[in-house]
Amino acid sequence: MNKPLRRIAIFCGLLVLALLVRDNWIQYVKADSLREDPDNRRVAIERYATPRGDIIVGGTPITGHATTTSGDFKYKRTYKNGAMWAPITGFVSQAYGATQLENLEDGILTGNDDRLFFRNTLDMVTGKQKEGGNVVTTLNAAAQKAAYDGLKGRGKGAVAAIEPSTGKILALASYPSYDPSTIAGGGESDAEAWKKLDKKNNPDDPMLNRALREVYPPGSTFKVLTAAAALENGLYDSADVPTKSPLPWIMPGTTLPLKNEGNIPCENATLRVALQYSCNSVFGKVGYDLGNDKMLAEAKKFGFTSEQFTPVRSSASVFSGDMAPSEVALSSIGQFNTAATPLQMAMVASAVANNGTLMKPYMVDELQAPSVDTIEKTEPEEMSRPLSAKNAQILQSMMETVVKDGTGKNAQISGVTVGGKTGTAQHGENNSKNPYAWFLSYAKIGDGSTPVAVAVVVEDDKAVRDDISGGGFAAPIAKSVMEAVIKSKK
């Protein structure tokens, strides 16, 4: 072969080699990124070419699907009582992507999860249409309805309810809410609905998951955690011994007394009486006596300062370090910059009700194949032990006094032992806005079990300021949720 031909042959060989390298690079190295590229419309078309699996509550699907009448997407998602369930399901939209369970469990719901490979291969051979699997939740439909209906008449707010012995989330309601069905497609009506839901156009922010993503000052409900810290650190070993709490109590480093609401018996009050009447001076001084480090350590045991994954992410609740003594006192009564999600405060009530053991909260019970065979089952998992069984039982007796003889009487249920704590948290600069109304509770039934712990927060902008209280606004909602769970156990 002459020299020019040899050069041409080598050059052509290099071109073929480059083509083979490029082809293999695209097929094997870049395959995943190309498949997940939002501009790859073929992937989106395939995603909506088959019916999506369902999210299930109590054996009943709360989702569905419908065929579209235009465009190249065959199916779109539908929701039953969508606004009520949106904090759990999130949405899946042909135009706007997916959130929450719809996003986190997308592989199962579309049928594309690797764990369904054998099933999908078999269906391909037999010619059967591919189907999505199901996500079975831990939610209690009656409890969710009670929570959502209770919030409807109160402006804005959220409810979280947990089964203390397992960590199963039984209710997770947020109001105002939105119907994910209205944005499931990709047409003009969906675009208009999306604009109306945008916070820029809707200050009520209906797409905000207040139960998981909003952190509120917890007010006096935080005193439950402060009481736990006092017992765990040996500051007091009983609910019924007098505390060293003068009245007035001047916050260290200031000339300001930590005031109580009204003329209540807080001077040297026992922990039981202090929780019953919600004495700021007692629990502020408890926090100061323990110090920042011990209060922060106890808060962390309950889950503060860490995000929770249920698997939907919940924002981290806040209790600070490096505070001045007066700031520790204010933080210990749920003010200053202490802030918590409703889920976090339900976790506090749950740990106390479960004799000091905090179970990791979760909302997915199992994942199912299209054949309804179980692919994955969630097992309850201990998260921490914020307090001993002995101290938890002392704190239970204190919370039960709150409901029997204190500020939580509106949560009483006939034939059921209820423990609780009210809270009215300051809101706005210099407390200029209406306060938040809180209530924590648990219900103990005749067989000694505690099937539910609840946290409720209400932010009612239209209420008369002096009428707002945790016992008046939030406790009746908690009561209805507890009653719904108890009834479902019978």
What is the C-alpha separation between 478 and 456, in angstroms, rounded?
6
Strands 417-427 and 433-444: antiparallel
What is the C-alpha separation between 180 and 165, in angstroms, rounded?
32
- Token representation of residue 190: 């969906």
Answer for the pair 185, 157: CB distance below 8 angstroms, yes or no.
no
DSSP assignment of 77-143? EEESSHHHHHHHH--EETTTEE-HHHHHTHHHHHT-SGGGHHHHHHHHHHTPPP---EEEE---HHH
With a CB cutoff of 8 Å and minimum separation 6, the contacts of 458 are 151, 154, 155, 156, 157, 436, 437, 438, 473, 474, 477
What is the C-alpha separation between 454 and 4, in angstroms, rounded?
85
CA distances from 412 to 225, 321, 415, 425, 479 (A): 22, 37, 9, 22, 7
What is the C-alpha separation between 389 and 386, in angstroms, rounded?
10
Q: Tell me whether residue 317 is one of the annotated catalytic residues.
A: no
Report the Cα 303 to chain-centroid distance in Å. 12
With a CB cutoff of 8 Å and minimum separation 6, the contacts of 468 are 424, 434, 435, 437, 460
With a CB cutoff of 8 Å and minimum separation 6, the contacts of 45 are 72, 73
What is the C-alpha separation between 355 and 365, in angstroms, rounded?
24
Place of tokens 């190309």: 34
Q: Which phi and psi angles does 302 have, rounded to 5°?
A: -85, -10
With a CB cutoff of 8 Å and minimum separation 6, the contacts of 63 are 52, 54, 55, 77, 78, 79, 80, 89
Which one of the listed residues 93, 177, 220, 320 is annotated catalytic?
A: 220
SS3 312: coil
Q: Which residues pair with 64 in a beta bridge?
A: 78
- Token representation of residue 106: 């997308």
What is the C-alpha separation between 342 and 215, in angstroms, rounded?
8
Catalytic residues: 220
